[in-house]
Structure 1
Amino acid sequence: MENGMKVVKPLDDEKKQTESGQEEQTGYIRMKKFKFVMLLFFVIFITAGITTAAFAFGDQKAVNVTTVNRPEFDKLYKAYDSIQKKYYTKVKQKTLVDGAINGMVESLNDPYSDYMSKTEASDFNNTISSSFEGIGAEVEEKDGYIVIVSPIKGSPAEKAGLKPNDKILAVDGKSVHGMSANEAVMLIRGKKGTKVTLTIQHVGSKDETKVTLTRDTIPVNTVYAKMLKNGVAHIQITTFSDGTYKEFKAAVENMKKQGMKSMIVDVRQDPGGLLDQAIKIANMFVPEGRTILQTEDRNGSREKYVAESGTKITVPAVVMIDGGSASASEILAAALNESAGIPLVGEKSYGKGTVQSAEKFNDGSILKFTVQKWLTPNGSWIHKKGIEPDEKVSLPDYAKLPVIGTDAELKLYSVSEDVKTAEKMLKALGYNPGRVDGYFDWNTKTAVEAFQMHEKMQPTGIINGDTATKLMSEISNLITRHDTQLKKAEEVVQKEK
């Protein structure tokens, strides 16, 4: 104990993932300290006025025990019995039980608490442990809407220009309003090569746009490294998955061989992932004994996670963050900033500061609910606030342009917000669309034709699915070539020497 606070050291490298104390799954954290040996399943039996329940713990067989009278459940039992006996069609017991659990979870009004069916739970686990097929975007439920937290690097979602805080209103024409994030993900996911059409409302806009994406395999690789000028290594973490820590270590060693003199750790657009991976990477920078993370339960009791001994990275470093940096990304950024003195560059992070516990039932379903807050080393709770960078730098205005609907056809005399977005993109790419006013005139048509010829496409002068997709792809490439945040990070890290 330290000042009445429990101190916890990071996990050993040799421990398996299932043995890690806490972990975060794509935007939320799972507690697995007891390997799901808590209550897994129960069936209510009412016999001769005596209520009994069959419980199963771990691999033990269910046994009948007499329960304590719980009058608060009388109304629930009565509603269940009435529906079973009097509803005009038969209803499966599982449907009613699942519905009751869903109702309890929804009453929490917490986007990070959820009840998942067996299929949903399987997808929940596969997202972190292996590659999966889909569009590659982390989403959450927020005020009844499905909102994008961050697209994954190189994914169809990123290539289509989807941005953090964009709302997904419908999937293939089916409204997802009021759905949980997992229910929406089940609709969005699908086999590689198949298409899905999303109705998107860009942040700050009232207009709706339909975007058709081709699903793909979302790669397992989560760390990308390259050497910039003057020995500056740029190491990007796109998500925190099973092998991220090992990938990061390998990337650091590779950069050392190439003459690394300083380092930029880039967690922009990183929606989070496994907590233990973030802790292990933080431990490579934070001096022994200093705090990496704190957690606080409902009673105000705190636990500290402190850095262990070992070889530390001592070259000058900076961390890059933005509005798509969430959860585990924020944990890493805060730890390196507050406990290792490493400056942050970019824009304010997302702001996700809660810890979830996941309990698995015998039928494969999972109940996930918030049990703790996580705090920065200095004790700050960044939930819904985010982390402010030391050096605030925005990307060019064209980096914030919304997506263009790939289902619509923009042509001469069209008038819409999509036309205005396309005009801004053409102008940023060096083509002259004339006035940027949302009106598709002859100047706009000429600019579109010039763009199509340059990209070896048929010069129709019409913006349809292929041209819209190519426009957004070229804007993405332009952002990469003129990355103002990365340039600032290079300046800062070289001053740190």
Structure 2
Amino acid sequence: MVFKGRTVFAIVLLALLAGSLFTMAVTDSPIWEKSPSQASNPSPSSTPGASSSTAGDDKLSGEELDKVERAYELIETNFLSKVDKDKIVNGAIHGMLDALDDPYTTYMDQEEAKQFEETINSSFQGIGAECSLVNGVVTVTAPIKGSPAEKAGIRTGDAILAVNGEKLDGLTLNQAVMKIRGPKGTQAKLTILKAGASAPQELVVVRDDIPIETVYAEMVNDTIGKIEISQFSTDTAKRFAEELNNLEKKGMKGLIIDVRDDPGGLLDSVLDIADHFVPKGKTVLQVEDRNGQRSEEAAKGKYPVRTYPVTVMINGGSASASEILAGIIKEAVGGQLVGEKSFGKGTVQVTYEKEMGDGSNIKMTIMKWLTPNGNWIHKKGIEPDIKVEQPAVFNLTAFSKEKTLKADMVGDEVKKLQVMLAALGFAPDRQDGYFSKGTADKVKAFQTAKKLTVTGEADAKTMSGIEEAVTAMLRDSKNDAQLNAAITATEKRLGK
């Protein structure tokens, strides 16, 4: 499978909710909005609207610091087992940030901060495979095209059980990723259980530099181009400009920007992209600090302003930077939004690494962002101009494959099977999660069509075959209802 396209993600990703996508490339979706260069690691006293006197008055008193020290001493002296000082200190920081009740304000230790920085820089060193935790097992969502993982024969659905003899069961996905990744040129001996296989096998993969492509472009017909953005990282704006120019050379007269399931990224990347469409000096964004003071960000006029129709596709996985771009295109450009309501993240984060002093990092919410017209979309999302929901099959996850699905079984896995069969043209008599005789008949029909052993039961091989067929179907743009609606809307504005 190629690491490309939202349609492919729909069947294989187990979770794509903004802020929780883990891969070999990332430890946390880049949901912060200002790059370190923009933020200049501001302290609270340098945040717009905050005064130095206020910051000074809010410092911990000697009595409060003594209280923290006493708590640590009690733990060190009396706790049942010997304590790790670093672990206690990190836990204290986590506790303070958790008390803020803001999911976007987080603490990263040295290793997590390093991975976070690598994510923003759009490259990393490893085997090149996106993974999820499926029932506690590290499972390959997709090998990245051209990566060592793909060349070694690792495919979607493969379970990674161990790395260099170290078992991964019981680890968090982030902990497992840390073991799988490594310096370029080093070997990762992976214990792999392939879908449908009865026994694991070992593969040796040589780690390499893995670029993370965030921009994909194509002409969807003779006059309309489409640019898909998977996240906004350091190279995204540059790649967008390159692909935009390429599409224009091919005769593009209208553009569709696809930010479905894009969890966000860097603010400066979004604003750079917006400069292709917004006249210099026109407001593209507003920000509001803790004191309610607002300031405006205007287009800088870096590029010639395009005047052709622009349509943006959004859905519930479009968050943060994606919503900023959607808001700009809607309110400052007059473009249209197609799809489903966006996620609703309207806050700005900056990172504090220099202040921490040891390679760790605090990512903290410091401002609200608002659309050009001053709308705050936090926890509300942005409504599309043209609402289009995808067929149910687009939102399904992969089978767990824990057990063979057979007659009289009941549950979500059976319902998933029924919905997928129906999407492939093998509609059973019901889709309520009960494995009926009609369901068994359609399983037999699918197995016959794909030359699988005909049993009427969905074993791991049959489920893998169904997933592959559905993935192929989703890759076909004619089955993407939102894309087809976006094409129609763009054509209408072109006078077609």
TM-score by length of 1: 0.72
Shift of 1:38: 6.6
Corresponding position: 1:319 with 2:312: yes
Query: Using a 3 Å threshold, how does the CA distance of structure 1 residues 124 and 281 change in structure 2: closer, same or farther?
Result: same
Shift of 1:249: 1.1
| SS in structure 2 at match of 1:318 | strand
| SS in structure 1 at match of 2:33 | strand
Query: Using a 3 Å threshold, how does the CA distance of structure 1 residues 325 and 222 change in structure 2: closer, same or farther?
Result: same
| SS in structure 2 at match of 1:29 | coil
Q: In structure 2, which of residues 404, 411, 420 is the aligned counterpart of residue 416 of structure 1?
A: 411
Q: Structure 2 counterpart of 1:317, which letter? A: V
Give the equivalent residue in structure 1 for 2:334: 341
**In structure 2, C-alpha distance between the alignment counterparts of 1:220 and 1:68, rounded to whole Å:** 43
Give the equivalent residue in structure 2 for 1:383: 378
| SS in structure 2 at match of 1:229 | coil
Give the equivalent residue in structure 1 for 2:7: none
Give the equivalent residue in structure 2 for 1:29: 33
Shift of 1:240: 1.1
Query: Using a 3 Å threshold, how does the CA distance of structure 1 residues 335 and 367 change in structure 2: closer, same or farther?
Result: same
**In structure 2, C-alpha distance between the alignment counterparts of 1:370 and 1:354, rounded to whole Å:** 6
Corresponding position: 1:241 with 2:245: no
Q: In structure 2, which of residues 466, 473, 477 is the aligned counterpart of residue 478 of structure 1?
A: 473
What are the Cα deviations for residues 133-178 of structure 1, in whole angstroms up to 9, with x where unaligned?
6864899xxxxxxxxxxx999799x977xxxxxxxxxx97759xxx
Corresponding position: 1:463 with 2:452: no
Query: Using a 3 Å threshold, how does the CA distance of structure 1 residues 431 and 268 change in structure 2: closer, same or farther?
Result: same
**In structure 2, C-alpha distance between the alignment counterparts of 1:366 and 1:195, rounded to whole Å:** 34
Q: Structure 1 counterpart of 2:483, which letter? A: L
Give the equivalent residue in structure 2 for 1:354: 347
**In structure 2, C-alpha distance between the alignment counterparts of 1:37 and 1:395, rounded to whole Å:** 42
Query: Using a 3 Å threshold, how does the CA distance of structure 1 residues 348 and 271 change in structure 2: closer, same or farther?
Result: same
Give the equivalent residue in structure 2 for 1:98: 90
**In structure 2, C-alpha distance between the alignment counterparts of 1:480 and 1:290, rounded to whole Å:** 38
Moved more, 387-396 or 413-422: 413-422
Query: Using a 3 Å threshold, how does the CA distance of structure 1 residues 356 and 25 change in structure 2: closer, same or farther?
Result: farther
- Residue 172 of structure 1 contacts residue 196 of structure 1 at CA under 8 Å; is this kept in 2? no
Give the equivalent residue in structure 1 for 2:487: 490
Shift of 1:128: 2.4
| SS in structure 1 at match of 2:277 | coil
* Superposition pairs of residues 179-218 of structure 1, within 5 angstroms: 185-187=174-176, 191=180
Query: Using a 3 Å threshold, how does the CA distance of structure 1 residues 194 and 489 change in structure 2: closer, same or farther?
Result: farther
Shift of 1:480: 4.1
Corresponding position: 1:395 with 2:361: no
Q: In structure 2, which of residues 283, 288, 291 is the aligned counterpart of residue 296 of structure 1?
A: 288
Instruction: Number of aligned residue pairs: give it.
Output: 403
Query: Using a 3 Å threshold, how does the CA distance of structure 1 residues 422 and 490 change in structure 2: closer, same or farther?
Result: same
**In structure 1, C-alpha distance between the alignment counterparts of 2:60 and 2:382, rounded to whole Å:** 47
Q: Structure 1 counterpart of 2:227, which letter? A: I
Structure 1 unmatched ranges of 5 or more = 1-23, 40-66, 140-150, 161-170, 176-182, 198-213
Shift of 1:224: 1.2
Shift of 1:490: 1.0
Shift of 1:286: 1.0
Give the equivalent residue in structure 1 for 2:67: 75
* Superposition pairs of residues 249-288 of structure 1, within 5 angstroms: 249-288=241-280
Question: RMSD value over aligned CA atoms?
Answer: 3.6
**In structure 1, C-alpha distance between the alignment counterparts of 2:80 and 2:328, rounded to whole Å:** 58
Shift of 1:478: 2.7
* Superposition pairs of residues 159-198 of structure 1, within 5 angstroms: 174=170, 185-187=174-176, 191=180
Give the equivalent residue in structure 1 for 2:402: 407
- Residue 129 of structure 2 contacts residue 144 of structure 2 at CA under 8 Å; is this kept in 1? no
- Residue 152 of structure 1 contacts residue 270 of structure 1 at CA under 8 Å; is this kept in 2? no
Q: Structure 2 counterpart of 1:486, which letter? A: L
**In structure 2, C-alpha distance between the alignment counterparts of 1:89 and 1:219, rounded to whole Å:** 44
Shift of 1:409: 1.7
Q: In structure 1, which of residues 218, 225, 250 is the aligned counterpart of residue 217 of structure 2?
A: 225
Q: Structure 2 counterpart of 1:268, which letter? A: R
Query: Using a 3 Å threshold, how does the CA distance of structure 1 residues 485 and 331 change in structure 2: closer, same or farther?
Result: same
Query: Using a 3 Å threshold, how does the CA distance of structure 1 residues 116 and 236 change in structure 2: closer, same or farther?
Result: same
Moved more, 408-417 or 278-287: 408-417
- Residue 327 of structure 1 contacts residue 353 of structure 1 at CA under 8 Å; is this kept in 2? yes
| SS in structure 2 at match of 1:276 | helix
| SS in structure 2 at match of 1:443 | helix
Moved more, 403-412 or 422-431: 403-412
Give the equivalent residue in structure 1 for 2:369: 374
Q: Structure 1 counterpart of 2:334, which letter? A: G
Give the equivalent residue in structure 2 for 1:121: 113
Q: Structure 1 counterpart of 2:490, which letter? A: V
Structure 2 unmatched ranges of 5 or more = 1-27, 45-58, 134-140, 158-166, 182-189, 195-202
**In structure 2, C-alpha distance between the alignment counterparts of 1:408 and 1:115, rounded to whole Å:** 39
- Residue 35 of structure 2 contacts residue 268 of structure 2 at CA under 8 Å; is this kept in 1? no
Q: Structure 2 counterpart of 1:290, which letter? A: K
Give the equivalent residue in structure 2 for 1:58: none
Shift of 1:300: 1.2
- Residue 35 of structure 2 contacts residue 267 of structure 2 at CA under 8 Å; is this kept in 1? no
Query: Using a 3 Å threshold, how does the CA distance of structure 1 residues 138 and 74 change in structure 2: closer, same or farther?
Result: farther
**In structure 2, C-alpha distance between the alignment counterparts of 1:196 and 1:363, rounded to whole Å:** 39
Shift of 1:111: 0.8
Query: Using a 3 Å threshold, how does the CA distance of structure 1 residues 190 and 346 change in structure 2: closer, same or farther?
Result: farther
**In structure 1, C-alpha distance between the alignment counterparts of 2:369 and 2:345, rounded to whole Å:** 9
Moved more, 418-427 or 216-225: 216-225
**In structure 2, C-alpha distance between the alignment counterparts of 1:138 and 1:257, rounded to whole Å:** 39
TM-score by length of 2: 0.72
Shift of 1:331: 0.7
Shift of 1:312: 1.4
- Residue 227 of structure 1 contacts residue 260 of structure 1 at CA under 8 Å; is this kept in 2? yes
Corresponding position: 1:446 with 2:441: yes
**In structure 1, C-alpha distance between the alignment counterparts of 2:328 and 2:226, rounded to whole Å:** 19
Query: Using a 3 Å threshold, how does the CA distance of structure 1 residues 381 and 122 change in structure 2: closer, same or farther?
Result: same
Instruction: Identify, as 1 or 2, the structure richer in strand.
Output: 1
What are the Cα deviations for residues 48-89 of structure 1, in whole angstroms up to 9, with x where unaligned?
xxxxxxxxxxxxxxxxxxx99522222111112222233343
Query: Using a 3 Å threshold, how does the CA distance of structure 1 residues 384 and 437 change in structure 2: closer, same or farther?
Result: closer
Q: Structure 2 counterpart of 1:492, which letter? A: A
- Residue 188 of structure 1 contacts residue 196 of structure 1 at CA under 8 Å; is this kept in 2? no
